[in-house]
């Protein structure tokens, strides 16, 4: 029995060690050296890189941007996703086509979606500014992605368009598990549509909503590709995230020690948030599942 378990577990465990454990240990090692990417690791600086990252205004701004994206994604996608899921859960003509249309943005490559939106948001000659001009309105002087005051919110709207389909898909799957008997009993008792949703649908969707919120939170902390394609963290670092910060420090500036320290700080932040969320939010669902 043990040999059988070892036989099936070893390939996955080897991949996990090679592509997760080894890179993490390498990042830890680099984070305590001043290293430009050439030669051996010799210039040991201890925790100096961590102090530099934590006192860097760009990194602290990136952390605030990540937190803003986390809160904004949940605030925007939760009501929209729930409303669309409730709509698509009803019997109607073209239901399958509508579900496909809603889900298509999520399955698109981030690179493709980013390039498309980058072209749409071009100042003056982009499709969005052209449409606004046609109805007598005017876009921002510096463009939607060039104004530091609105660039992050523009990126947030693009992210909502991109990932809303995942929320809708999960909520639709959760709605399939709500017994029809509860709806029929509520209708016999004279409950209104809103009362049915508030007292039956939303509470029973609680585990699905909490799981989706967890996925959204972790994804927002790791956000890179869409921001990099749209703004590369600009203008004036207004859309910089923690991942774009460490990539810029490591790839563009060859400060691999700083990048390693930033990656470890990001790892600790993500792990802490995941553990706390599991401990105080998802624990209720795991307890109920174990009964």
For the beta carbon of residue 238, count every other beta carbon within 10 angstroms.
20
What is the predicted pLDDT for the residue at 141? 83
For the chain, the domains span 31-290
- Per-block mean pLDDT, blocks of 10 residues, the chain (291 long): 92 94 91 88 90 94 95 94 88 82 90 93 87 86 90 95 93 87 84 85 89 93 93 92 92 90 93 91 67 53
pLDDT at 287: 62
pLDDT value, residue 286: 64
User: Residue by residue, what is the 3-state secondary structure of 131-195?
Assistant: HHHHCCCCCCCCCCCCCCCCHHHHHHHHHHHHHHHHHHHHHHHHHCCCCHHHHHHHHHCCCCHHH
At 221, list the tokens.
């902390």
| Longest CA–CA separation in the chain, Å | 77
Distance CA 38, CA 50 (A): 21
E strand map for 15-128:
none
CATH no. for 31-290: 1.10.3720.10
Q: Which residues pair with 44 in a beta bridge?
A: 33
pLDDT score of 288: 59
3-state secondary structure of 91: coil
Q: State the burial class of residue 105 (Cβ atoms within 10 Å of its Cβ: 0-12, 13-18, 19+).
A: middle
Q: Does the predicted model carry a pTM greater than 0.75?
A: yes
Does residue 147 contact residue 235 with C-beta atoms inside 8 Å? yes
* Cα-based torsion angle of the residue sequence 251, 252, 254, 260 in order, rounded to the nearest 10 degrees: -50
DSSP state of 238: T
């Amino acid at each position: 029995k043990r040999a059988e378990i070892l036989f099936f577990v070893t390939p996955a465990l080897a991949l996990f060690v090679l592509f997760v454990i080894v890179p993490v240990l390498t990042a830890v090692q680099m984070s305590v050296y001043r290293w430009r990417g050439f030669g051996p690791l010799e210039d040991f600086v201890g925790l100096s890189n961590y102090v530099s990252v934590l006192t860097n205004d760009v990194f602290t701004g990136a952390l605030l941007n990540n937190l803003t994206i986390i809160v904004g994604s949940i605030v925007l996608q939760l009501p929209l996703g729930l409303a669309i899921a409730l709509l698509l859960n009803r019997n109607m003509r073209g239901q399958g086509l509508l579900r496909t249309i809603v889900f298509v943005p999520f399955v698109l490559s981030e690179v493709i979606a980013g390039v498309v939106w980058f072209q749409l948001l071009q100042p003056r000659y982009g499709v969005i500014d052209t449409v606004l001009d046609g109805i007598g309105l005017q876009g921002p002087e510096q463009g939607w992605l060039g104004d530091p005051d609105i660039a992050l919110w523009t990126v947030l709207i693009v992210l909502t368009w991109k990932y809303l389909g995942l929320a809708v898909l999960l909520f639709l799957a959760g709605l399939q598990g709500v017994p029809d008997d509860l709806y029929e009993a509520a209708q016999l008792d004279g409950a209104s549509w809103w009362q049915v949703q508030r007292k039956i649908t939303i509470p029973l969707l609680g585990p699905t909503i909490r799981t989706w919120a967890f996925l959204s939170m972790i994804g927002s902390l790791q956000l890179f590709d869409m921001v990099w394609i749209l703004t590369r963290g600009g203008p004036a670092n207004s859309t910089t995230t923690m991942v774009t910060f460490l990539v810029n420090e490591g790839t563009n500036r060859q400060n691999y020690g700083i990048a390693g320290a930033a990656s470890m700080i990001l790892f600790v932040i993500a792990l802490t948030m995941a553990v706390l969320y599991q401990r105080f939010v998802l624990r209720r669902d795991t307890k109920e599942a174990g009964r």
